Amino acid sequence: MQPIFEKLAKMRIVPVIVINDPSKAVDLAKALCDGGLPCAEVTFRTAGAAEAIRAMTQAFPEMLVGAGTILTTEQADKAIDAGAKFLVSPGLNPEIVRYAQSKGIPMLPGICTPSELEQGLSLGLEMLKFFPAEAAGGIPMLKSFASPYGAVKFMPTGGLTPSNVKDYLALKNVFACGGSWMVKDELIATGDFAKITELTKEAVELAV
């Protein structure tokens, strides 16, 4: 397991963030760190994603900030330049995976079928994102992967909540879970960072 993913495995839960206003990034990072989760996947679904990653990594250099929804090599470059320590994508694009590997940055591409999983193996990957987790079969699907693909570990993302995350984390082939319930859009938009810290603390308790 790559060192970055070893660290994420110890944290167990990775907040998945959509941030529209990069000026809120530092306060958001502080809220997550104060809550006990000094990590984040900042998705490239908004124009300010790279700026937010840069602000978070500069203010909290010890924080593990990655970039999500990486669909192009240009986005990968912007994320790496901003200080992202890992990349995540919703699907498995061999071109993007090879590009990340050429840059020496860890990547978690998303898969939801055995064929996609084997494509990941052919690229030398044994850590994968399982997405969209609940829609793609959830816990039963991950259990089905366990026997034929015993060496592969997953970070399920998509539809995870406080009510089901413990069940996902209990699976031997899950090293961490991605979730957005502690960093909901409305909480970020209204600047309710105290609530984000509270929800993050609760998430940490669920991961014990």
- Catalytic positions, please? 41, 129
d(C-alpha 181, C-alpha 147), whole Å: 31
Rounded Cα distance, 77 and 68, in Å: 13
**Who's near 22: CB < 8 A, 6+ residues apart?**
48, 51, 52, 55
| 3-state secondary structure (DSSP) of residue 184 | coil
Ranges assigned E (strand) in 101-170? 107-111, 127-130, 153-156
Residue 123, φ and ψ in degrees, nearest 5:
-95, 5
CA distance 159 to 168: 11
Structure tokens at 153: 């570990």
Are the C-beta atoms of 116 and 92 separated by less than 8 Å?
A: yes
Residue 74: partners with Cβ closer than 8 Å, 6 or more residues away: none
